[in-house]
Amino acid sequence: MCGDDKYTGKNYDHRRGWVKEQILKLSEVFAIDVAAYAVMSNHLHVVLYIDLEMANSWSDREVVEQWHRLFNGTALTQKFAIGEVIDEHLVVQLKHLIATYRSRLSDIS
């Protein structure tokens, strides 16, 4: 992942900065605080705090907006995100998607 490749002699230390940026970027989207991290040559260590209270305090719109920062979502969540009226028969499906997104935004498995 980082460091010197013993077979090619190439150095991949430039990846450390990219890995750090990705960890911090993801912590801004998910309900997770990064307490500490260490990027090693062939693996990384991360100490995380899962903030369930934060995830549960987000409004439905905030959950969808957070999810859409990384993923496209569905046509239904896209409509909801821009404030379009959701047909009554689709509200249950929308609520299910939001509940799924909320749980995934506070889950690191």
Question: Do 17 and 31 share a domain, yes or no?
Answer: yes
The residue among 94, 88, 34 whose CA lies nearest residue 67 is 94
Question: Do 8 and 61 share a domain, yes or no?
Answer: no
Report the alpha-carbon distance of residue 109 to residue 92 in Å, rounded. 26
Q: Note the pLDDT of residue 108.
A: 73
- Our count of domains for the chain comes to 2
Question: Do 74 and 25 share a domain, yes or no?
Answer: no
Question: Do 19 and 67 share a domain, yes or no?
Answer: no
Question: Do 58 and 102 share a domain, yes or no?
Answer: yes
When computed from its CA atoms, the radius of gyration of the chain, rounded to whole angstroms, is 18
Give the domain extent around 10. Answer: 1-50
Does position 2 have pLDDT exceeding 70, yes or no?
Answer: yes
pLDDT class of 109 with cuts at 50, 70, 90: low
Enumerate residues 6+ apart whose C-beta is below 8 A from 109: none
Question: Do 31 and 84 share a domain, yes or no?
Answer: no
Structure confidence by residue, pLDDT tens digits, 5-39 = 889 999 988 999 999 999 999 999 999 999 999 99
Question: Do 80 and 30 share a domain, yes or no?
Answer: no
Amino acid at site 17:
G
Question: Do 38 and 79 share a domain, yes or no?
Answer: no
DSSP letters spanning 67-81: HHTT----HHHHHHH
Report the alpha-carbon distance of residue 16 to residue 32 in Å, rounded. 21
